[in-house]
Copies of this chain bind each other. A is one copy, B any other.
Amino acid sequence: MNATLQTRLANLRARMAATATDLVVIGPSSHMLYMADLSPHGDERPVLLMISQSFAGFLMPALNVDSARQHTDLPFFPWADADGPAAALAELIAATGIDRTAPSIVLDETMRADFALLVLDTLPGASRRFTNDTVGYLRSRKDAAEYDALKKSAVLNDAAMAAGFAALRPGITEREVATVIRDFYKANGATTEFCSVCFGPNGAFPHHHTGETRLAEGDAVLIDTGARIYGYPSDMTRVGFYGTAPEGFGQIHSILDRAVEAAIAAARPGTPASAVDKAARDVITAAGYGPNFLHRTGHGLGIDIHETPYITATSDTVLEEGMVFSIEPGIYLQGRFGLRLEEIVIIRNGVAEILSDMPRSAVAVG
């Protein structure tokens, strides 16, 4: 176990003590990658990492033991297909040293339901919650190496976004523009995480599927794209138009830009995440578009594209140094267009620093 992983394990045990947690149970997920640098074959065979104050080890399908051993020196409790996992799981729980009567356990919220219920059925007296104040909390506060990777990923994404807008011409399809961006990622050693290109009224669907719609004069264009490089993803949205901007475009763009600025100004260590949501939402509501801002203001970004902290009206997260998240207000006008502007920021040296170097101004093409 290298120094980074040893630090993370020690930090987790400190959080477990602070939150009176006896046992953390992690499935094959980003949580496992973060804690143990292991990203096992994810299928229906239970793989679980269990961490107590005195022990850390894996429930592991026998046929994965050899390949997993190349990534971690933590002990394995292997189980064969012919036997099923029950006996190995009982041994692992015994090794953790927890009191089985009424342990306080944390479950990886992303693991499969059958994995989680296997654990809960084996520990019927357990009280349980999810990882947000343990592993999720640790992951939300990025270290220097993570900041560096996220920054490099964001700057590469700036160039990919520019390539996407540069490809716009009448008649090109959304999918063809997405292919330009995906090819750019690939040529630069990154892997596409997602790429959403919306022309005209399609932008009014926040989760529009990029398709065969062709670009026409007067269309608004929305591109929301991200890729992974150095192990960390990017995520950015920019908007523009082809030829003449549709009616109201400039006004909506300006409202969103002010909403982003207001949220960034609000984002400080010690500020509730809900206050950042409110800062963006207030600008849009004051402009009369509150009902058209259909979603939360943002989500954390790290190993996962969506992770803690979530920037919502109901969040109880308080921002801290090192937290990385999106600020992405949008206004969706059915039948006309939808716009969204998205920055990824990190709370650093007491302020919200934007990772991208690309201006948020509308990209006018044609």
Contacts and interface: CB of A to CB of B under 8 A. Distances in A.
Interface of A: 27, 41, 43-44, 62-64, 66-67, 80-84, 107-117, 128, 130, 204-209, 294-296, 306, 312-314
Given A82-B313, A113-B112, A43 B306 contact: yes
16 contacts: A41-B207, A44-B110, A44-B306, A63-B295, A66-B205, A66-B207, A80-B294, A80-B295, A84-B314, A108-B113, A110-B113, A111-B113, A112-B112, A113-B113, A113-B116, A116-B116
A300 B114 CA distance: 18
A82 B41 contact: no
Contacts of A314: 82-84
Contact of A81 (B41, B110, B312): B312
A113 B120 CA distance: 11
A81 B295 contact: yes
A294 B62 contact: yes
Contact of A109 (B114, B128, B130): B114
A187 to B, nearest CB: 16
A116 B128 CA distance: 13
A274 B238 CA distance: 56
Nearest to A311: B81
A207 B313 contact: no
A288 to B, nearest CB: 18
Contacts of A113: 27, 107-113, 115-116, 130
A67 B207 contact: yes
Given A43-B306, A114-B130, 8 more contacts: A27-B113, A63-B207, A66-B207, A67-B207, A80-B294, A83-B314, A107-B117, A111-B113
Contacts of A67: 205, 207-209
A112 B114 contact: no
Contact of A296 (B82, B109, B111, B204): B82
Contacts of A43: 306
Contacts of A306: 43-44
Contact of A294 (B63, B112, B114, B130): B63
Of A63, A81, A206, A209, which is in contact with the most chain B CB atoms at under 10 Å from its CB?
A81
A170 to B, nearest CB: 26
Q: Specify which of A67, A207, A306 lies most central, judged by the most chain B CB atoms within 10 Å of its CB.
A: A207
A42 B352 CA distance: 29
A81 B114 contact: no
A23 B117 CA distance: 18
A306 B112 CA distance: 14
Contacts of A205: 66-67
